[in-house]
Chain A
Protein backbone atom coordinates (compact mmCIF):
# COMPACT_ATOMS: atom_id res chain seq x y z
CA UNK A 1 0.00 0.00 0.00
CA UNK A 2 2.77 2.40 0.95
CA UNK A 3 4.76 1.49 -2.14
CA UNK A 4 1.68 2.06 -4.26
CA UNK A 5 1.28 5.59 -2.93
CA UNK A 6 4.95 6.32 -3.48
CA UNK A 7 4.80 5.21 -7.08
CA UNK A 8 1.65 7.22 -7.65
CA UNK A 9 3.35 10.37 -6.36
CA UNK A 10 6.38 9.97 -8.60
CA UNK A 11 6.61 12.03 -11.72
CA UNK A 12 9.21 11.27 -14.33
CA UNK A 13 10.60 14.08 -16.46
CA UNK A 14 12.83 13.42 -19.42
CA UNK A 15 14.28 15.26 -22.38
CA UNK A 16 12.16 13.45 -24.95
CA UNK A 17 8.78 14.77 -23.90
CA UNK A 18 9.74 17.45 -21.45
CA UNK A 19 7.02 19.99 -22.25
CA UNK A 20 4.31 17.37 -21.74
CA UNK A 21 5.95 16.13 -18.54
CA UNK A 22 6.13 19.61 -17.08
CA UNK A 23 2.57 20.27 -18.19
CA UNK A 24 1.48 17.18 -16.23
CA UNK A 25 3.18 18.54 -13.12
CA UNK A 26 1.46 21.89 -13.45
CA UNK A 27 -1.91 20.14 -13.53
CA UNK A 28 -1.30 19.55 -9.82
CA UNK A 29 -0.38 23.17 -9.14
CA UNK A 30 -3.67 24.50 -7.73
CA UNK A 31 -4.00 21.71 -5.16
CA UNK A 32 -0.42 21.98 -4.02
CA UNK A 33 -0.47 25.78 -3.89
CA UNK A 34 -3.67 25.95 -1.84
CA UNK A 35 -2.32 23.54 0.74
CA UNK A 36 0.54 25.82 1.67
CA UNK A 37 -0.27 27.38 5.02
CA UNK A 38 2.73 29.70 5.21
CA UNK A 39 2.27 32.63 2.88
CA UNK A 40 4.60 35.28 1.54
CA UNK A 41 2.84 37.97 -0.48
CA UNK A 42 4.84 40.95 -1.68
CA UNK A 43 5.57 43.10 -4.70
CA UNK A 44 8.93 42.66 -6.42
CA UNK A 45 9.93 45.28 -8.98
CA UNK A 46 6.29 46.14 -9.44
CA UNK A 47 5.00 42.56 -9.78
CA UNK A 48 3.05 40.80 -7.05
CA UNK A 49 4.55 37.48 -5.94
CA UNK A 50 2.65 35.11 -3.67
CA UNK A 51 4.49 32.12 -2.22
CA UNK A 52 2.71 29.32 -0.42
CA UNK A 53 4.39 26.44 1.35
CA UNK A 54 4.31 24.24 4.41
CA UNK A 55 7.92 25.26 5.10
CA UNK A 56 7.44 28.24 7.39
CA UNK A 57 11.19 28.66 7.84
CA UNK A 58 11.64 29.23 4.11
CA UNK A 59 9.01 31.96 4.11
CA UNK A 60 10.78 33.65 7.03
CA UNK A 61 14.16 33.86 5.36
CA UNK A 62 12.73 34.70 1.94
CA UNK A 63 10.72 37.52 3.50
CA UNK A 64 13.89 38.86 5.08
CA UNK A 65 15.94 38.62 1.90
CA UNK A 66 13.51 39.80 -0.77
CA UNK A 67 13.14 43.54 -1.22
CA UNK A 68 9.45 44.37 -1.37
CA UNK A 69 8.94 47.23 -3.81
CA UNK A 70 5.79 48.26 -5.50
CA UNK A 71 3.15 49.12 -6.15
CA UNK A 72 2.30 45.81 -7.71
CA UNK A 73 0.72 45.96 -11.13
CA UNK A 74 -2.08 43.80 -12.37
CA UNK A 75 -1.69 40.05 -12.13
CA UNK A 76 -0.02 37.82 -9.64
CA UNK A 77 2.86 35.37 -9.74
CA UNK A 78 2.17 32.30 -7.63
CA UNK A 79 4.89 30.01 -6.39
CA UNK A 80 4.33 26.74 -4.57
CA UNK A 81 7.23 25.35 -2.54
CA UNK A 82 7.28 21.84 -1.17
CA UNK A 83 9.32 18.86 -0.11
CA UNK A 84 9.35 15.95 -2.53
CA UNK A 85 7.32 13.01 -1.26
CA UNK A 86 5.88 14.91 1.69
CA UNK A 87 2.10 15.22 1.76
CA UNK A 88 0.85 15.29 -1.80
CA UNK A 89 4.10 16.63 -3.22
CA UNK A 90 5.43 14.41 -6.01
CA UNK A 91 8.91 13.00 -6.15
CA UNK A 92 10.36 14.19 -9.45
CA UNK A 93 12.75 11.90 -11.25
CA UNK A 94 14.94 12.65 -14.24
CA UNK A 95 14.51 9.94 -16.86
CA UNK A 96 17.85 10.26 -18.64
CA UNK A 97 21.23 9.07 -17.41
CA UNK A 98 22.54 12.61 -17.07
CA UNK A 99 21.15 16.13 -16.99
CA UNK A 100 22.59 18.48 -19.59
CA UNK A 101 21.41 21.88 -18.47
CA UNK A 102 22.14 23.76 -21.68
CA UNK A 103 20.46 21.07 -23.78
CA UNK A 104 17.35 21.34 -21.63
CA UNK A 105 17.41 25.12 -21.84
CA UNK A 106 17.46 24.85 -25.62
CA UNK A 107 14.55 22.44 -25.63
CA UNK A 108 12.47 24.72 -23.41
CA UNK A 109 13.55 28.06 -24.89
CA UNK A 110 10.62 28.36 -27.32
CA UNK A 111 8.15 26.92 -24.82
CA UNK A 112 6.16 28.45 -21.99
CA UNK A 113 8.24 26.60 -19.41
CA UNK A 114 11.54 27.13 -17.65
CA UNK A 115 13.35 24.50 -15.60
CA UNK A 116 16.32 24.40 -13.28
CA UNK A 117 17.39 21.09 -11.76
CA UNK A 118 20.33 20.33 -9.51
CA UNK A 119 20.66 16.54 -9.50
CA UNK A 120 23.20 16.48 -6.68
CA UNK A 121 20.73 17.89 -4.15
CA UNK A 122 17.41 17.07 -5.81
CA UNK A 123 16.48 20.74 -6.17
CA UNK A 124 13.91 21.67 -8.81
CA UNK A 125 12.54 24.99 -9.97
CA UNK A 126 9.92 25.08 -12.72
CA UNK A 127 8.00 28.02 -14.10
CA UNK A 128 5.05 28.36 -16.44
CA UNK A 129 5.44 31.75 -18.06
CA UNK A 130 1.98 31.60 -19.60
CA UNK A 131 0.20 31.40 -16.25
CA UNK A 132 2.87 32.94 -13.99
CA UNK A 133 2.97 29.87 -11.77
CA UNK A 134 6.10 28.31 -10.37
CA UNK A 135 7.28 25.34 -8.35
CA UNK A 136 10.25 24.91 -6.10
CA UNK A 137 10.59 21.31 -5.01
CA UNK A 138 13.33 20.25 -2.62
CA UNK A 139 14.50 16.98 -1.13
CA UNK A 140 14.19 18.40 2.41
CA UNK A 141 12.90 21.60 4.02
CA UNK A 142 16.43 22.97 3.94
CA UNK A 143 17.35 21.31 0.66
CA UNK A 144 18.15 24.53 -1.18
CA UNK A 145 21.53 25.54 -2.64
CA UNK A 146 23.89 27.15 -0.17
CA UNK A 147 23.65 30.52 -1.91
CA UNK A 148 19.87 30.54 -1.85
CA UNK A 149 19.45 32.48 1.44
CA UNK A 150 21.15 35.43 -0.24
CA UNK A 151 18.84 35.47 -3.24
CA UNK A 152 15.88 33.16 -2.70
CA UNK A 153 13.65 32.34 -5.68
CA UNK A 154 16.11 34.17 -7.94
CA UNK A 155 15.48 32.07 -11.03
CA UNK A 156 11.71 32.16 -10.64
CA UNK A 157 11.76 35.92 -10.18
CA UNK A 158 13.90 36.34 -13.31
CA UNK A 159 11.71 34.01 -15.35
CA UNK A 160 8.73 36.24 -14.66
CA UNK A 161 10.33 39.68 -14.61
CA UNK A 162 12.25 38.80 -17.77
CA UNK A 163 8.96 39.00 -19.64
CA UNK A 164 8.38 42.56 -18.51
CA UNK A 165 11.18 44.23 -20.45
CA UNK A 166 14.37 43.70 -18.54
CA UNK A 167 16.53 41.23 -16.68
CA UNK A 168 18.22 40.56 -13.37
CA UNK A 169 21.81 41.70 -13.67
CA UNK A 170 24.58 40.76 -11.30
CA UNK A 171 25.55 44.27 -10.22
CA UNK A 172 25.49 46.60 -7.28
CA UNK A 173 23.93 50.03 -7.31
CA UNK A 174 24.25 53.45 -5.72
CA UNK A 175 22.41 56.67 -6.29
CA UNK A 176 21.04 59.90 -4.96
CA UNK A 177 17.70 61.57 -5.53
CA UNK A 178 16.55 58.82 -7.88
CA UNK A 179 19.49 58.77 -10.26
CA UNK A 180 22.34 56.37 -9.94
CA UNK A 181 24.97 54.01 -11.24
CA UNK A 182 25.45 50.28 -11.61
CA UNK A 183 28.60 48.71 -10.22
CA UNK A 184 29.90 45.55 -11.83
CA UNK A 185 33.03 43.57 -11.32
CA UNK A 186 34.86 40.44 -10.40
CA UNK A 187 35.08 38.99 -6.94
CA UNK A 188 37.55 41.04 -4.94
CA UNK A 189 37.06 44.13 -7.10
CA UNK A 190 35.48 46.00 -4.23
CA UNK A 191 31.94 46.14 -5.57
CA UNK A 192 30.18 45.22 -2.34
CA UNK A 193 32.56 47.34 -0.28
CA UNK A 194 31.76 50.28 -2.54
CA UNK A 195 28.01 49.78 -2.13
CA UNK A 196 28.42 49.56 1.64
CA UNK A 197 30.64 52.65 1.68
CA UNK A 198 27.98 54.54 -0.23
CA UNK A 199 24.98 53.59 1.85
CA UNK A 200 26.84 54.23 5.11
CA UNK A 201 27.60 57.75 3.89
CA UNK A 202 24.27 58.95 2.59
CA UNK A 203 23.76 57.32 -0.80
CA UNK A 204 20.78 55.21 -1.87
CA UNK A 205 20.74 51.75 -3.38
CA UNK A 206 18.44 49.25 -5.04
CA UNK A 207 20.70 46.37 -4.13
CA UNK A 208 24.20 45.02 -3.96
CA UNK A 209 24.14 41.66 -5.68
CA UNK A 210 21.31 41.42 -8.16
CA UNK A 211 19.14 44.23 -9.45
CA UNK A 212 16.38 44.21 -12.03
CA UNK A 213 17.25 46.49 -14.92
CA UNK A 214 14.36 47.60 -17.04
CA UNK A 215 15.09 48.51 -20.66
CA UNK A 216 14.00 51.69 -22.39
CA UNK A 217 15.21 54.53 -20.26
CA UNK A 218 17.46 52.25 -18.21
CA UNK A 219 16.23 51.98 -14.65
CA UNK A 220 17.29 49.68 -11.83
CA UNK A 221 14.84 48.17 -9.35
CA UNK A 222 15.47 46.26 -6.14
CA UNK A 223 14.98 42.52 -5.79
CA UNK A 224 17.01 41.53 -2.73
CA UNK A 225 17.82 43.15 0.61
CA UNK A 226 21.06 41.25 1.01
CA UNK A 227 24.61 42.53 1.11
CA UNK A 228 27.72 40.47 1.72
CA UNK A 229 31.06 41.46 3.11
CA UNK A 230 34.11 39.63 4.39
CA UNK A 231 35.52 40.23 7.89
CA UNK A 232 38.25 42.57 6.64
CA UNK A 233 35.67 44.70 4.85
CA UNK A 234 33.46 44.79 7.93
CA UNK A 235 36.40 46.11 9.95
CA UNK A 236 37.40 48.63 7.29
CA UNK A 237 33.86 49.96 7.16
CA UNK A 238 33.68 50.27 10.94
CA UNK A 239 30.80 47.84 11.19
CA UNK A 240 32.35 45.50 13.73
CA UNK A 241 29.87 46.36 16.47
CA UNK A 242 26.85 47.07 14.27
CA UNK A 243 23.79 45.07 15.33
CA UNK A 244 23.03 44.26 11.69
CA UNK A 245 26.21 42.17 11.44
CA UNK A 246 25.39 38.57 12.39
CA UNK A 247 27.47 36.27 14.56
CA UNK A 248 28.04 33.70 11.87
CA UNK A 249 29.39 33.95 8.36
CA UNK A 250 27.80 32.35 5.33
CA UNK A 251 29.19 29.55 3.18
CA UNK A 252 31.57 31.99 1.49
CA UNK A 253 33.14 33.14 4.73
CA UNK A 254 31.23 36.40 4.49
CA UNK A 255 28.71 38.14 6.66
CA UNK A 256 25.30 38.48 5.10
CA UNK A 257 23.63 41.78 5.92
CA UNK A 258 20.20 43.16 5.16
CA UNK A 259 19.59 46.69 3.96
CA UNK A 260 16.55 47.34 6.09
CA UNK A 261 18.51 46.34 9.18
CA UNK A 262 21.69 48.18 8.24
CA UNK A 263 20.38 51.49 6.93
CA UNK A 264 16.69 51.62 6.03
CA UNK A 265 16.96 55.16 4.68
CA UNK A 266 19.30 53.93 1.95
CA UNK A 267 16.59 51.77 0.39
CA UNK A 268 15.01 53.23 -2.70
CA UNK A 269 12.60 51.69 -5.18
CA UNK A 270 14.15 52.81 -8.47
CA UNK A 271 17.24 54.47 -9.84
CA UNK A 272 17.43 56.11 -13.23
CA UNK A 273 20.76 54.79 -14.47
CA UNK A 274 23.39 57.26 -15.63
CA UNK A 275 26.60 55.21 -15.78
CA UNK A 276 28.11 51.76 -15.41
CA UNK A 277 31.13 51.70 -13.11
CA UNK A 278 33.73 48.96 -12.72
CA UNK A 279 35.23 49.25 -9.23
CA UNK A 280 38.82 48.16 -8.73
CA UNK A 281 40.96 48.25 -5.62
CA UNK A 282 43.68 50.55 -6.85
CA UNK A 283 46.16 51.02 -4.03
CA UNK A 284 45.97 54.76 -4.63
CA UNK A 285 45.24 57.38 -2.00
CA UNK A 286 42.24 58.90 -3.73
CA UNK A 287 39.29 57.50 -5.63
CA UNK A 288 39.14 58.37 -9.30
CA UNK A 289 37.00 57.69 -12.35
CA UNK A 290 38.18 57.14 -15.92
CA UNK A 291 36.38 55.98 -19.06
CA UNK A 292 36.52 52.38 -20.26
CA UNK A 293 35.15 50.87 -23.46
CA UNK A 294 31.63 49.49 -23.63
CA UNK A 295 33.14 46.12 -24.56
CA UNK A 296 35.29 45.97 -21.43
CA UNK A 297 32.35 47.07 -19.29
CA UNK A 298 30.16 44.42 -20.87
CA UNK A 299 32.77 41.75 -20.15
CA UNK A 300 32.74 42.79 -16.50
CA UNK A 301 28.95 42.87 -16.28
CA UNK A 302 27.66 39.95 -18.31
CA UNK A 303 29.47 36.71 -17.48
CA UNK A 304 28.54 36.18 -13.85
CA UNK A 305 24.83 36.79 -14.33
CA UNK A 306 24.68 34.80 -17.55
CA UNK A 307 26.34 31.87 -15.83
CA UNK A 308 24.34 32.03 -12.62
CA UNK A 309 20.78 32.32 -13.94
CA UNK A 310 19.72 29.43 -16.15
CA UNK A 311 16.96 29.49 -18.71
CA UNK A 312 17.20 33.13 -19.79
CA UNK A 313 20.90 33.36 -20.65
CA UNK A 314 20.38 34.94 -24.08
CA UNK A 315 18.15 37.60 -22.56
CA UNK A 316 20.63 38.33 -19.78
CA UNK A 317 23.44 38.60 -22.34
CA UNK A 318 21.44 40.99 -24.53
CA UNK A 319 20.30 43.11 -21.59
CA UNK A 320 23.85 43.43 -20.27
CA UNK A 321 24.89 44.54 -23.77
CA UNK A 322 22.12 47.14 -23.84
CA UNK A 323 23.33 48.49 -20.51
CA UNK A 324 26.99 48.63 -21.57
CA UNK A 325 26.10 50.33 -24.85
CA UNK A 326 23.46 52.59 -23.39
CA UNK A 327 25.44 54.04 -20.49
CA UNK A 328 28.80 55.75 -20.29
CA UNK A 329 31.21 53.26 -18.73
CA UNK A 330 34.00 54.00 -16.29
CA UNK A 331 36.57 52.31 -14.19
CA UNK A 332 36.33 53.35 -10.56
CA UNK A 333 39.77 53.20 -8.96
CA UNK A 334 39.01 52.94 -5.27
CA UNK A 335 40.86 54.75 -2.56
CA UNK A 336 41.11 53.22 0.92
CA UNK A 337 38.75 55.54 2.81
CA UNK A 338 35.05 54.55 2.60
CA UNK A 339 33.91 58.12 3.25
CA UNK A 340 36.13 59.44 0.45
CA UNK A 341 34.86 56.73 -1.93
CA UNK A 342 31.27 57.74 -1.13
CA UNK A 343 32.00 61.46 -1.51
CA UNK A 344 33.62 60.85 -4.91
CA UNK A 345 30.61 58.84 -6.05
CA UNK A 346 28.18 61.45 -4.76
CA UNK A 347 29.96 64.13 -6.75
CA UNK A 348 30.10 61.89 -9.81
CA UNK A 349 26.40 61.02 -9.71
CA UNK A 350 25.33 64.58 -9.00
CA UNK A 351 27.34 65.64 -12.04
CA UNK A 352 25.41 63.36 -14.39
CA UNK A 353 22.57 64.66 -16.51
CA UNK A 354 19.12 64.48 -14.87
Chain B
Protein backbone atom coordinates (compact mmCIF):
# COMPACT_ATOMS: atom_id res chain seq x y z
CA UNK B 1 0.00 0.00 0.00
CA UNK B 2 2.95 2.38 0.53
CA UNK B 3 3.50 4.63 3.48
CA UNK B 4 2.19 8.02 4.49
CA UNK B 5 4.35 10.98 5.48
CA UNK B 6 4.31 14.13 7.56
CA UNK B 7 6.44 17.24 7.75
CA UNK B 8 9.60 16.21 9.56
CA UNK B 9 9.08 18.63 12.43
CA UNK B 10 8.76 22.25 13.53
CA UNK B 11 12.10 23.04 11.92
CA UNK B 12 10.47 22.77 8.49
CA UNK B 13 8.40 25.85 7.66
CA UNK B 14 6.81 26.73 4.35
CA UNK B 15 4.88 29.46 2.63
CA UNK B 16 2.84 29.50 -0.56
CA UNK B 17 3.22 32.13 -3.27
CA UNK B 18 0.64 31.94 -6.02
CA UNK B 19 0.96 28.18 -6.40
CA UNK B 20 4.68 27.95 -5.73
CA UNK B 21 5.92 26.86 -2.34
CA UNK B 22 9.07 27.96 -0.54
CA UNK B 23 10.25 25.60 2.17
CA UNK B 24 12.89 26.40 4.77
CA UNK B 25 14.59 23.85 6.94
CA UNK B 26 15.49 25.90 10.00
CA UNK B 27 17.86 23.20 11.20
CA UNK B 28 20.11 23.63 8.20
CA UNK B 29 19.18 27.05 6.88
CA UNK B 30 18.46 25.52 3.45
CA UNK B 31 15.70 26.94 1.27
CA UNK B 32 13.78 24.93 -1.34
CA UNK B 33 11.43 26.07 -4.08
CA UNK B 34 8.61 23.78 -5.26
CA UNK B 35 6.81 24.41 -8.53
CA UNK B 36 2.97 24.33 -8.56
CA UNK B 37 2.84 20.55 -9.18
CA UNK B 38 5.32 19.99 -6.39
CA UNK B 39 3.37 22.32 -4.12
CA UNK B 40 0.14 20.45 -4.77
CA UNK B 41 1.81 17.12 -4.07
CA UNK B 42 3.46 18.58 -0.95
CA UNK B 43 0.06 19.52 0.42
CA UNK B 44 -1.41 16.08 -0.22
CA UNK B 45 1.66 14.19 1.02
CA UNK B 46 2.00 16.20 4.23
CA UNK B 47 -1.70 15.69 4.90
CA UNK B 48 -0.82 12.00 5.13
CA UNK B 49 -2.08 10.75 1.78
CA UNK B 50 -0.03 7.90 0.37
CA UNK B 51 1.96 9.13 -2.63
CA UNK B 52 1.24 6.02 -4.70
CA UNK B 53 -2.47 6.77 -4.46
CA UNK B 54 -2.24 10.42 -5.45
CA UNK B 55 -1.90 10.31 -9.22
CA UNK B 56 -4.74 10.19 -11.71
CA UNK B 57 -2.74 7.56 -13.65
CA UNK B 58 -0.17 4.92 -12.62
CA UNK B 59 2.56 7.04 -14.17
CA UNK B 60 1.51 10.06 -12.14
CA UNK B 61 1.42 8.01 -8.95
CA UNK B 62 4.94 6.79 -9.69
CA UNK B 63 5.93 10.41 -10.14
CA UNK B 64 4.35 11.25 -6.79
CA UNK B 65 6.22 8.41 -5.11
CA UNK B 66 9.53 9.53 -6.57
CA UNK B 67 8.81 13.09 -5.46
CA UNK B 68 8.04 11.94 -1.93
CA UNK B 69 11.30 9.99 -1.87
CA UNK B 70 13.14 13.14 -2.89
CA UNK B 71 11.44 15.18 -0.15
CA UNK B 72 12.33 12.47 2.36
CA UNK B 73 15.95 12.37 1.21
CA UNK B 74 16.13 16.13 1.72
CA UNK B 75 14.90 15.70 5.28
CA UNK B 76 11.69 17.63 4.73
CA UNK B 77 9.24 14.79 5.42
CA UNK B 78 9.35 11.61 7.47
CA UNK B 79 7.17 8.47 7.47
CA UNK B 80 4.03 8.86 9.49
CA UNK B 81 2.26 6.35 11.67
CA UNK B 82 -0.91 8.41 11.57
CA UNK B 83 -4.03 7.04 9.93
CA UNK B 84 -4.28 7.87 6.26
CA UNK B 85 -6.99 10.49 5.72
CA UNK B 86 -10.03 9.85 3.58
CA UNK B 87 -9.42 9.33 -0.11
CA UNK B 88 -8.95 12.52 -2.04
CA UNK B 89 -9.41 13.38 -5.66
CA UNK B 90 -6.47 12.18 -7.76
CA UNK B 91 -4.03 14.88 -8.76
CA UNK B 92 -3.65 15.43 -12.48
CA UNK B 93 0.03 16.31 -12.68
CA UNK B 94 0.28 18.73 -15.57
CA UNK B 95 4.04 19.22 -15.26
CA UNK B 96 6.63 17.14 -13.42
CA UNK B 97 7.01 18.23 -9.78
CA UNK B 98 10.34 19.89 -9.09
CA UNK B 99 12.37 20.99 -6.10
CA UNK B 100 14.92 23.71 -6.52
CA UNK B 101 17.57 23.87 -3.82
CA UNK B 102 18.61 27.46 -3.30
CA UNK B 103 22.26 26.92 -2.49
CA UNK B 104 23.04 30.41 -3.70
CA UNK B 105 21.00 32.02 -0.95
CA UNK B 106 24.13 32.39 1.12
CA UNK B 107 24.82 35.26 -1.29
CA UNK B 108 21.64 36.90 -0.07
CA UNK B 109 22.71 36.84 3.52
CA UNK B 110 23.88 40.36 3.89
CA UNK B 111 26.10 41.63 6.64
CA UNK B 112 26.20 40.90 10.29
CA UNK B 113 27.29 37.31 10.53
CA UNK B 114 26.06 35.72 13.68
CA UNK B 115 28.47 32.93 14.17
CA UNK B 116 30.16 30.06 12.48
CA UNK B 117 28.46 26.82 11.96
CA UNK B 118 29.47 23.24 12.05
CA UNK B 119 27.83 19.91 12.58
CA UNK B 120 26.95 20.90 16.12
CA UNK B 121 25.75 24.41 15.51
CA UNK B 122 23.55 23.50 12.57
CA UNK B 123 23.25 26.94 11.08
CA UNK B 124 25.08 28.11 8.01
CA UNK B 125 28.20 30.15 8.35
CA UNK B 126 27.66 33.71 7.30
CA UNK B 127 30.10 35.19 4.85
CA UNK B 128 32.42 37.74 6.36
CA UNK B 129 32.64 41.27 5.08
CA UNK B 130 29.62 41.32 2.88
CA UNK B 131 26.60 43.53 2.79
A contacts, CB < 8 Å to B: 98-103, 105-106, 109, 118, 120, 145, 147, 150-151, 170, 185-188, 191, 209, 228, 252-253, 293-295, 298-300, 302-304, 306-308, 310, 313-314, 317-318, 321, 324-325
Q: Which residues of A contact B107 (CB under 8 A)?
A: 186-187
User: Measured between C-beta atoms, what is the minimum distance from B73 to chain A in Å?
Assistant: 20
Given contacts A100-B122, A101-B123, contact A314 B109 (CB under 8 A): no
Q: Which B residues are CB-close (under 8 A) to A317?
A: 13, 15, 24
Tell whether, in the assembled complex, residue B10 and residue A252 are in contact, meaning their CB atoms are under 8 Å apart: no
How many contacts between A and B, using CB within 8 angstroms?
110
| B22 and A304 contacting across the interface, CB-CB below 8 Å | no
Known: A187-B130, A299-B22. A102 touches B122 (CB 8 A): yes
Q: Which of B42-50, B53-61, B110-118 lies on the face that meets chain A?
A: B110-118
CA A298 to CA B18, docked complex, whole Å = 12
- In the complex, chain B residues 8-58 whose Cβ is within 8 Å of any chain A Cβ: 10-11, 13, 15, 17-18, 20, 22, 24, 26-27, 29, 31, 33
Let me know if A118 and B122 touch, CB within 8 A.
no
Residues in A with CB closer than 8 Å to B123 are 101-102, 307
Q: Is the CB of A102 within 8 A of B110?
A: no
B1 at the interface (CB under 8 A from A): no
Residue of B nearest to A308 (CB): B112
For A99, list chain B residues within 8 Å (CB): 120-121
Given contacts A101-B121, A187-B110, 8 further A-B pairs with CB under 8 A are A102-B123, A106-B11, A170-B110, A302-B24, A304-B111, A307-B123, A314-B13, A325-B15
A307: nearest chain-B partner, CB-CB: B109
Q: Which residues of chain A come closer than 8 Å to B112, judged between CB atoms?
A: 147, 150-151, 308
| B122 and A101 contact, CB distance less than 8 A | yes
The answer, among B105, B121, B131, for a CB contact under 8 Å with A303, is B105
Determine the distance from Cα of A304 to Cα of B31 in the docked complex, in whole angstroms.
Answer: 12
Asked if B108 is an interface residue, CB under 8 A from chain A, the answer is yes
Q: Does B129 contact A (CB under 8 A)?
A: yes
